């Protein structure tokens, strides 16, 4: 598949603006910077052909990143080969502790928490990105936060 | 850990830290079994992958693979539960100890490592030489401002050094044992160009001892970066006093240093600081100064504000003195771009210590060994100079809106916005965040009595018509007439200046200050400032914008939002204000330097607005008469704070919004004032009061407000 000039320009602009934010988001959902970079690379590949046809390339890209992150976790026999979550080391012990707790959460909770508290998306927007009902988002947020409270005791 | 902060807050902070965490902070990966971690195998679509990799390469973004450049770091003892990064970001006075915080910065202050990691993970934002040695400053990718620089770092002598601790501590300094002369470098996080004074001192005091050479200072990413050398080795300075004065505000720091190691940052053994000080007032004794809470004396304007028309441009755009040898320009400016046009090499220069459109417009263009100015300038969004450079006229200019612009040129008639025969589009590139264009015309510069310049930047178009006088070889062709309209919807260029179709924006002479009516522009703003649709539920706004500030006014919480993906005044004006669960727009906007919305929010009216000039503004409100600039009964000054580099203000009035048929809004930002008069129509509860009339003058000398329009 060869990209036309318009697609290439659009893709380039999208890449400039969104690549790093998407890596950061993917990192927060997957726990691994290495995985995040791979996923975002894959997401741009998938978005490339549609970049001039979708109404909201940024939103489309984000949804693609979220879906790829989720699908990676679902790949049977594959998950254990993925780079595991990063153990980080800052000079803020509470941050290190919280990150460790985040990494222990199931992906479904980790994803909604990242979209809510990092991306500042509303529950409706998260539901749209994850393809689930707002009520599901609400309950995952609730459970995720409850698990974090337990996890950092 | 502290249990006082809600888990949500800690989670947000954790996300912010982790999202930007450098590889060097990853100490290990939890390997679940003995097998080495394999990489996901999803690079199946080879052709497309190649396309994306090419895009990545073309935009200068390297794909950093897992583990590349990662180096385990030695765990250090965590600093004591500290108040670090609790600086008074909203304007309260900071009189606190500033601990040595190396936590979030990359590279950390385990310093002097190879530069490769930093140069891969950061974007070069400035460079120069100091004491004969080249240095390069990097900002962390995806970050801007002081944060970006502090999470980036400095490379000199092939070694990378961090610049922490950082923002919002207003100023910081690192001392590097770089040989016989100690090297110092740091960031002053306040907006604008700072004056940096260094002296020897005693640890734990604010004593000013022997003066040390002032470092070189320049504005990078909107804040000040400084670098310099000391007369002696870094080992000879047990303590330094760092006094900085940014536009409107000073900060004072005292730093003690531990043992030095060649090519490494000297450890900071102790530090303390006071900031939000009135300009130039540095208390000699920590804690002894009168530092009342809410001290906002930093409002005093400094003299390095926005560029004024023609006055500050060098080389001048006065045609008769244009085309002079380039040496002077090159000695006072920094090359920021280069290329060729019609087979001739050109270089673009930005005035030292300045950035963005201002820097370029106060710098200039060198072509054929001759220097040409690019004024008049910012905040006129676009400008063009025509140069009599031979058989083909040369055009060059700047589009001051952020991002890459499309630039269309055509022949025209003076005093109109007629689009005549199209001319070849010039080459356009982003330089310092704005667009610079350069190109040739099919005929000599003498053949074009008028040109139409239509530009479209991301989100905004601008339209200019310029008339030209007699041409002289190798000089700028004098601009005999000009007019412009801007803040236009993308791609919409009215055909008639002042006609009915000119709905939005500021119609002003392109070469002068705007002294024209300011229409009620609802075109590009969201939520709309159409009063009847204002005061709607906040959900739409909060889902499309990012919270950038919050507070309370008259006991009610408010939140300010910037449109996602936008920054500065534009972001705020395309975002909006939420108060009492209702969203209100803040249009019309930039480049009208100041604006105000009046909200019928109960017994006491609410006013809010933006002053688009950089830095902290003073905002004066008074009653007035519609269509004048009369200053009537003084009204309470609203609360003002810097948000996104510009000033946002909010306050209440003594009476209901229905009681104010007109308001006078006088603002003074660092270096420049603006004056607006606004008339208001009928009020409706919980809605914006419609603006029935408005007019403004700007680019005024600080504090000089005309009584008569």
Written as one string, the DSSP assignment of B302-367 is: -S--SPPTTTT-SS---GGGTTEETHHHHHHEEEEEEEEETTEEEEEEEETT--HHHHHHTSEEEE
> In the predicted model, what is the mean pLDDT of residues B555-562?
83
The per-residue pLDDT of chain B, averaged, comes to 68
Residue B635 CA to residue B336 CA, distance in Å, equals 46
Q: For residue B236, what pLDDT is reported?
A: 92
Q: What integer best gives the mean pLDDT of chain A? A: 78
Tokens representing B282? 């540095």
Provide mean pLDDT across the span B332-347.
Answer: 80
Q: pLDDT value at position A74?
A: 38
Instruction: Find the CB nearest A125 among B38, B58, B543.
Output: B543
Q: What is the torsional sign of CA B647, B650, B654, B659?
A: positive
From B213's Cα to the closest Cα of chain A, the distance in A is 34
Predicted pLDDT of residue A81:
32
Q: For residue range A124-152, what is the model confidence (pLDDT) as tens digits? A: 888 888 777 888 889 889 999 999 998 87
Q: Do A125 and B66 touch (CB under 8 A)?
A: no
DSSP string, A5-64: HHHHHHHHHHHHHHHHHHHHHHHHHHS-HHHHHHHHHHHHHHHHTTTTTSS-HHHHHHHH
Give the least confident one: B186-195, B401-410, B509-518. Answer: B509-518
List pLDDT tens digits, range B569-586: 777 877 888 888 888 887
pLDDT at position A88, please? 67
Q: Is the pLDDT of residue B306 over 90?
A: no
- List, for residues B190-224, the tens digit of each pLDDT value: 777 788 889 998 877 778 888 888 888 887 877 88
Query: Residue B33 pLDDT > 80, yes or no?
Result: no
Token pair 């939103």: residue: A59
Contact B597, B648 (CB under 8 A): no
For the sheet with B122-130, list strands across it. Answer: B113-114, B159-161, B153-156, B133-140, B122-130
Calculate mean pLDDT across residues B279-296: 40
Q: A5-30 and B7-19 are packed helices; what angle lies between their axes, rounded to 10 degrees?
A: 130
Share of chain B above pLDDT 90, in %: 9
- A2 pLDDT band, cuts 50/70/90, is low
Residue B125 has pLDDT above 70, yes or no: yes
Which of B437, B464, B427, B426 has its CA nearest to residue B360? B437
In this complex, the residue of B18, B30, B76 whose CB is nearest that of residue A91 is: B76
| E-state strands within B458-593 | 460-468, 479-488, 507-508, 515-517, 536-537, 545-553, 556-563, 576-579, 582-584
Q: A19 vs B23: CB contact, 8 Å cut-off?
A: no
ipTM for this model: 0.84
> What do you get for the CA distance between the two ends of chain A, in Å?
52
Predicted confidence band of residue B321 (pLDDT cuts 50, 70, 90): low
Cβ of A42 and B43 within 8 Å?
yes
The verdict on a CB contact (< 8 Å) between A87 and B51 is: no
Cβ <8 Å between A21 and B142: yes
Which range, of B81-95, B153-167, B273-287, B447-461, averages the lowest pLDDT?
B81-95
A109-118, B461-470, B503-512, B633-642: least confident range: B503-512
Confirm if B254 and B282 have CB atoms less than 8 A apart: no
Q: Between residues B455 and A107, which one has the greater pLDDT?
A: B455
Residue B411 has pLDDT above 90, yes or no: yes
Nearest chain A Cα to B35, which residue?
A: A81
More reliable by pLDDT, A118 or B323:
A118
- State the smallest CA–CA distance between residue B59 and chain A in angstroms: 7
A12-34 mean pLDDT: 84
CB contact under 8 A, A118 and B12: yes
Residue B225: both structure tokens together? 């970066």
User: Which B-chain residues 60-119 have CB contacts (< 8 A) with chain A?
Assistant: 61, 63-67, 73, 75-76, 78-79, 101-104
The mean pLDDT of B73-97, rounded to a whole number, is: 23
Q: Cα torsion for A24, A27, A29, A31, to the nearest 10°? A: -150
User: In chain A, which residues have their Cβ closer than 8 Å to the Cβ of B34?
Assistant: none
Å from A127 to nearest chain B CA?
13
User: Is the Cβ pair B30, A87 closer than 8 Å?
Assistant: yes
Nearest by CB: A27 against B18, B37, B546: B18
Would the pLDDT of B42 be above 70? no
- C-alpha B383/C-alpha B386 separation (Å) is 10
Of the residues B14, B62, B100, B108, the best mutation for testing chain A's interface (the one with the most A CB atoms within 10 Å of its CB) is B14
Tell me: the pLDDT tens digits for A74-90? 332 222 333 445 666 77
Q: Are A30 and B37 in contact (CB under 8 A)?
A: no
Of all residues in chain B, the percent with pLDDT exceeding 70 is 64
Q: Does B11 touch chain A (CB under 8 A)?
A: yes
Considering the entire predicted model, what is its pTM?
Answer: 0.31
């Amino acid at each position: 598949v060869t990209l036309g000039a318009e697609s290439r320009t659009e893709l380039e602009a999208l890449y400039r603006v969104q690549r790093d934010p998407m890596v950061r988001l993917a990192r927060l959902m997957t726990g691994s910077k290495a995985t995040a970079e791979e996923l975002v690379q894959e997401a741009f590949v998938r978005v490339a052909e549609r970049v001039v046809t979708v109404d909201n390339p940024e939103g489309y890209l984000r949804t693609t990143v979220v879906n790829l992150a989720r699908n990676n976790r679902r790949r049977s026999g594959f998950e254990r080969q993925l780079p595991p979550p990063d153990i980080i080391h800052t000079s803020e012990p509470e941050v290190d502790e919280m990150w460790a707790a985040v990494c222990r959460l199931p992906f479904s909770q980790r994803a909604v928490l990242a979209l809510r508290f990092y991306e500042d998306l509303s529950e409706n927007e998260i539901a749209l990105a994850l393809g689930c009902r707002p009520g599901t988002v609400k309950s995952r947020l609730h459970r995720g936060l409850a698990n974090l409270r337990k996890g950092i005791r | 850990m502290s249990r006082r902060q809600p888990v949500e807050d800690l989670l947000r902070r954790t996300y912010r830290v982790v999202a930007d965490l450098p590889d060097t902070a990853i100490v290990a990966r939890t390997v679940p079994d003995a097998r080495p971690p394999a990489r996901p195998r999803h690079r199946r679509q080879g052709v497309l992958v190649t396309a994306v990799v090419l895009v990545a390469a073309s935009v200068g973004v390297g794909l950093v693979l897992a583990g590349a450049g990662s180096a385990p770091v030695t765990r250090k003892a965590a600093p004591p539960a500290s108040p670090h990064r609790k600086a008074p970001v909203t304007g309260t006075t900071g009189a606190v100890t500033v601990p040595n915080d190396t936590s979030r910065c990359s590279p950390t202050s385990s310093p002097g490592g190879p530069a490769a990691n930093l140069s891969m993970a950061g974007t070069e934002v400035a460079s120069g030489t100091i004491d004969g040695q080249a240095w390069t400053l990097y900002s962390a990718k995806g970050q801007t401002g002081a944060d970006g620089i502090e999470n980036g770092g400095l490379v000199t002598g092939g070694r990378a050094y961090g610049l922490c601790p950082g923002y919002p501590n207003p100023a910081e300094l690192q001392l590097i044992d770089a040989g016989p002369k100690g090297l110092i470098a740091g960031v002053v996080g306040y907006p604008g160009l700072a004056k940096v004074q260094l002296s020897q001192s005693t640890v734990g005091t604010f004593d000013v001892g022997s003066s040390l050479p002032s470092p070189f200072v320049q504005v990078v990413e909107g804040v000040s970066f400084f670098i310099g050398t000391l007369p002696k080795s870094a080992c000879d300075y047990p303590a330094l006093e760092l006094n900085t004065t940014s536009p409107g505000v000073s900060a004072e720091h005292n730093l003690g240093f531990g043992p030095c190691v060649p090519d490494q940052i000297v450890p900071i053994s102790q530090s303390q600081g006071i900031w939000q000080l009135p300009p130039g007032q540095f208390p000699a004794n920590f804690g002894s100064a009168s530092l009342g809470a809410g001290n906002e004396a930093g409002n005093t304007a400094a003299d390095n504000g926005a560029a004024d028309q023609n006055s500050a441009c060098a080389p001048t755009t006065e045609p008769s003195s244009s085309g002079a040898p380039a040496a002077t320009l090159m000695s006072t400016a920094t090359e920021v771009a280069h290329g060729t046009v019609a087979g001739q090499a050109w270089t673009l220069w930005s005035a030292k210590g300045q950035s963005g459109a201002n820097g370029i417009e106060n710098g200039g263009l060198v072509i054929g060994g001759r220097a040409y100015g690019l004024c008049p300038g910012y905040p006129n969004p676009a400008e063009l100079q025509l140069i009599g450079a031979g058989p083909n006229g040369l055009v060059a200019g700047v589009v001051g809106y952020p991002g890459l612009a499309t630039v269309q040129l055509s022949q025209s008639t003076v005093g109109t916005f007629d689009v005549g025969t199209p001319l070849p589009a010039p080459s356009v590139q982003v330089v310092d965040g704005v667009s610079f264009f350069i190109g040739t015309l099919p005929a000599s510069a003498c053949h074009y009595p008028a040109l139409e310049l239509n530009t479209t930047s991301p989100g905004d178009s601008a339209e200019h018509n310029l008339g030209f006088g007699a041409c002289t070889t190798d000089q700028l062709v004098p601009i005999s007439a000009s007019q412009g309209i801007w803040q236009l919807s993308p791609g919409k260029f009215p055909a008639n200046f002042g006609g009915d179709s000119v709905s939005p924006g500021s119609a002003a002479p392109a070469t002068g200050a705007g002294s024209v009516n300011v229409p009620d522009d609802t075109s590009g703003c969201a939520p709309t400032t159409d009063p009847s649709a204002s005061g709607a539920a906040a959900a739409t706004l909060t889902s499309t914008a990012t919270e950038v500030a919050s507070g309370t006014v008259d006991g009610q919480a408010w939140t300010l939002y910037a449109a996602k993906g936008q920054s500065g005044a534009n972001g705020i004006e395309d975002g909006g204000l939420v108060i009492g669960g209702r969203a209100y727009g803040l249009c019309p906007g930039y480049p009208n330097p100041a604006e105000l919305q009046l909200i019928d929010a109960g017994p006491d009216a609410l006013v809010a607005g933006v002053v688009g000039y950089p830095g902290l503004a003073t905002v004066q409100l008074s009653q007035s008469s519609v269509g004048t600039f009369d200053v009537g009964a003084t009204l309470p000054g609203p609360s003002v704070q810097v948000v996104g580099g510009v000033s946002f203000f909010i306050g209440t009035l003594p009476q209901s919004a229905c009681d104010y048929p007109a308001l006078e809004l006088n603002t003074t930002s660092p270096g420049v004032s603006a004056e607006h008069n606004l008339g208001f129509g009928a009020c409706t509860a919980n809605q914006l009061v419609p603006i029935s009339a408005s007019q403004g003058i700007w680019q005024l000398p600080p504090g000089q407000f005309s009584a008569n329009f």
